[in-house]
Amino acid sequence: MTDPQIVLTERVQQALAHAFGTEHADADPLIRPSQFADFQANVAMSLAKRLRRAPREVAEAIKAELSDFPGTVEVSGPGFLNITLDDSWIESEARRMLTDPRLGVGTITPSQTVVIDYSAPNAAKEMHVGHLRTTIVGDSLARLHEHLGNTVIRQNHLGDWGTPFGMLIEHLLDIGEETAVAQLEAGMGTEFYQAARAKFESDDTFKLRARVRVTTLQSGDPDTMRLWHVFMDATVRYFNKLYTLLGVTLTDADLAGESMYNPMLEKTCDDLEASGAAVMSEGALCLFPPGFTGSDDKPLPLIIRKSDGGYGYASTDMAAIRYRVHDLKADRILYVVGSDQALHFRMVFASAQLAGWLPDTVSAEHVQIGMMLGKDGRRFKTRSGESVKLMDLLQEAIDRATAAIADRGYDETTRKEIAHAVGMGAVKYADLSVSHDSEYVFDFDRMLGFTGNTGPYMQYATARIRSIFRKAGVDPADATAPIVLAAPAERALGLHLLGFGELTSQVTAESEPHRLCAFLFQTASLYSTFYEECPVIKAPDPETRAYRLALCALTLRVLETGLDLLGVPVPERM
Ligand code: ARG
């Protein structure tokens, strides 16, 4: 374990146990980075209260226990412990990290099977920016879990089933398969849906056809199923274009839409009813998980079969959770879905527990995605009030990136590559860098900025280190000289880098990619100071040059690995 904060925590806990008894071994030493030392531990104050002793006295006792610690410990103020690590310790840890292919990132043992439900756009409605965010955050979580050695099963829970498909299929027949396919592939799903909807509302014969079609679809009629496939295949081809453009790892093998669960719904309901978990209420089959009440204080139902016999979103999610636990053998299930569905998922999880389908050994978590807002602070829409077509949005990001790098003298191919990486990197990083459950304002100007905590800044910082190696004529993999941390900027950078492994584990455990962004941003900032204060190529002597290149190489690998875990591409040069 290399992370200084973790090393310190363990050492101070040992000291506490030794000085005050083993019952204090688990106390949180409250270690935080400090402006007066590397770290400050505040545990003496809280412990002093419990022990009814003077805080400074307690602090001194801890200090005495840390006499063999590779650093200096000072007691200050009312009883703070200021801890400064020895340069030699940081150096040796940094050297070790440089030779570690995993950069101090541990693997989870035993490894877990993690089902990640993400992206999940609806075929019958528009795929909106909210889905963009669930796609990007979910994909980063998938990458993180895989990096830690977990088995990830991606589940793209497409909205590909339900009553609207009656009118969608009839509309497809009206305009002809070819036209329909062309529209859907071009991402005109919303227009398609709206046209079908308009006819449904104004034309009674169409309405009747649509109703009949729903029944034939549900009965699995081959002709209708073929038409459904024509519709869905074209829609999925559009989604795939977006995924490819974004560099998202979802493939057709990950498709597990609502339709997949259709054949399971009857049994799902029957089993829930037979076990007594579900009961009939006003003609509908319902689950009443404990602890959920409506505004009238009456128990809140999760309806799994409507009074007309139809199934809905909740029925599917009950079938899905059973499938994920029982068939996919999940240890952890992450639902990366908009925060507006929080109640739904709490009820689904509680219902699954009630039914005995979600044992304590499996954790089901809703990774809530906050709403994307426009600059006006309202739900993100185009100026004319329409929802934004994702392909257009991504294309605009690329166009703006193209303009931003226009004067850098690259040839056409390179320029296209960079613009693509910068455009997509900007959008993705913006989605990832704020905590997933907070709302955020979609703002091209800010996300494409080359300064601040943005994708382009992180890409630029990385590309700049690569260019140093090109100038030095050294392959980063060969920069293995023993790292020295003599200058303050070198020391600060080295100390920070040591935290990468532990941070990555925490970010994965807690589903918080934004903290990885913050760590990488801090890395880039510390590197930038180092670069200003410590010449690398023009270092005073060959030894200094060699170890500074090694520090550059370590920084580069942390940035590259971290950005890759976020799914943010890094162009070779910028
Ligand atoms: N298609 C849904 C939506 O757009 C999201 C599905 C999320 N996953 C699930 N298991 N319910 O809101």
pLDDT in tens, 86-122: 999 999 999 999 999 999 999 999 999 999 999 999 9
Instruction: Give the other-Cβ count within 10 Å of 307's Cβ.
Output: 12
15 within domain boundaries: yes
Last residue of a domain, one of 85, 104, 124: 85
Residue having the nearest C-alpha atom to atom 5 of ligand 1: 120
Residue type, 103: L
pLDDT at 145 over 70: yes
User: Which of 232, 337, 365 to mutate to test ligand 1, by most ligand atoms within 8 A of the CB atom?
Assistant: 337
Q: What is the pLDDT of residue 1?
A: 56
Give domain status of residue 220, yes or no: yes
Residue 127 Cα to ligand 1 middle (Å): 11
Q: What is the mean pLDDT of the chain?
A: 94
pLDDT in tens, 508-546: 999 999 999 999 999 999 999 999 999 999 999 999 999
pLDDT of residue 112: 98
Q: Is residue 30 part of a domain?
A: yes
The tens digit of pLDDT for each residue in 356-375 reads: 999 999 999 999 999 888 88
Query: Is any atom of ligand 1 closer than 6 Å to the C-beta of 82?
Result: no
Is 351 inside any structural domain? Answer: no
Q: Are 141 and 242 in contact (CB under 8 A)?
A: no
Q: Is the pLDDT of residue 381 over 80?
A: no
Distances in whole angstroms, Cα of residue 572 to Cα of each of 318, 453, 561: 46, 20, 14
Residue linked to tokens 């649509």: 210
Q: How far apart are CA 308 and CA 310, in angstroms?
A: 6
Q: Is 120 in the pocket of ligand 1 (CB under 6 A)?
A: yes
Residue 137 has pLDDT above 90, yes or no: yes
Q: Residue 324: inside a domain, yes or no?
A: no
Q: How many A from CA of 134 to the centre of ligand 1?
A: 10
DSSP-assigned states of every residue in 122-143 = BSSS---HHHHHHHHHHHHHHH
**Residue 561 banded pLDDT, cuts 50, 70, 90:** very high
Residue 292 lies in a domain: no
* pLDDT tens digits, 457-498: 999 999 999 999 999 999 999 999 999 999 999 999 999 999
> In whole angstroms, what is the distance from residue 483 CA to residue 306 CA?
67
One-letter amino acid for residue 266 of the chain = E
Mean pLDDT confidence for 57-81? 91
Does residue 504 contact residue 144 with C-beta atoms inside 8 Å? yes
pLDDT value at 549 more than 70? yes
> pLDDT for 303-345, tens place per residue?
999 999 999 999 999 999 999 999 999 999 999 999 999 999 9
pLDDT greater than 80 at residue 395: yes
The C-alpha atoms of residue 422 and residue 404 are separated, in whole angstroms, by: 10
Q: What is the reported pTM?
A: 0.94
CA angle, residues 276, 282, 284, in degrees to nearest 5: 60
Distance of CA 215 to CAs 162, 198, 212, 227, 310, Å?
A: 10, 21, 5, 14, 11
> Nearest Cα to 221, choosing from 175, 299, 286, 166?
166
Q: Say if CB 372 and CB 440 are below 8 A apart.
A: yes
Residue 33: inside a domain = yes
pLDDT computed for residue 379 by the predictor: 76
Q: Answer yes or no: is 187 within a domain.
A: yes
Note the pLDDT tens digit of each residue in 183-202: 999 988 888 999 999 999 99
Single out the residue of 80, 215, 167, 186 nearest to residue 127, CA to CA: 186
Determine the residue of 119, 126, 157, 349 to mutate for testing ligand 1's pocket, defined as the one with the most ligand atoms within 8 A of the Cβ atom: 157
Binding site membership of 160 for ligand 1 (Cβ less than 6 Å): no
CA angle (118 as vertex; 126, 108 as ends), nearest 5: 170
Q: Which atom of ligand 1 is nearest to the CA of 320?
A: 10
| 302, 247 contact by CB (below 8 A) | no
pLDDT of residue 383 exceeding 70, the answer is no
Work out the number of other CB atoms within 10 angstroms of the CB of residue 273: 16
Residue pair 250/567 in contact (Cβ under 8 Å)? The answer is no
Closest atom of ligand 1 to 131 CA is 4
CA 443 to CA 301: how far, in whole Å? Answer: 40
- Nearest CA, atom 4, ligand 1: 121
Q: What is the distance in A from the centroid of ligand 1 to the CA of 104?
A: 36
**CA 124 to ligand 1 centroid distance, Å:** 13
pLDDT computed for residue 90 by the predictor = 96
258 lines ligand 1 (CB under 6 A): no
Q: Which of 227, 256, 285 is the last residue of a domain?
A: 256
Q: Are 568 and 520 in contact (CB under 8 A)?
A: no
Each residue of 248-270: pLDDT tens digit? 999 999 999 999 999 999 999 99
Helix (H, G, I), strand (E, B) or coil at 286: strand
Query: Residue 203: its pLDDT value, please?
Result: 97
Cα distances (Å, whole numbers) of residue 228 to 18, 25, 198, 223: 69, 62, 20, 9
Q: Which domain holds residue 36?
A: 4-85
| pLDDT tier, 67 (very low <50, low <70, confident <90, very high otherwise) | confident
The number of domains in the chain is: 2
The residues near 542 (Cβ < 8 Å, ≥ 6 apart) are: none
CA of 182 relative to ligand 1 center, distance in Å: 26
Backbone angles phi, psi at 559, to 5 degrees: -65, -45
Which of 209, 238, 256 represents a domain boundary (last residue)?
Answer: 256
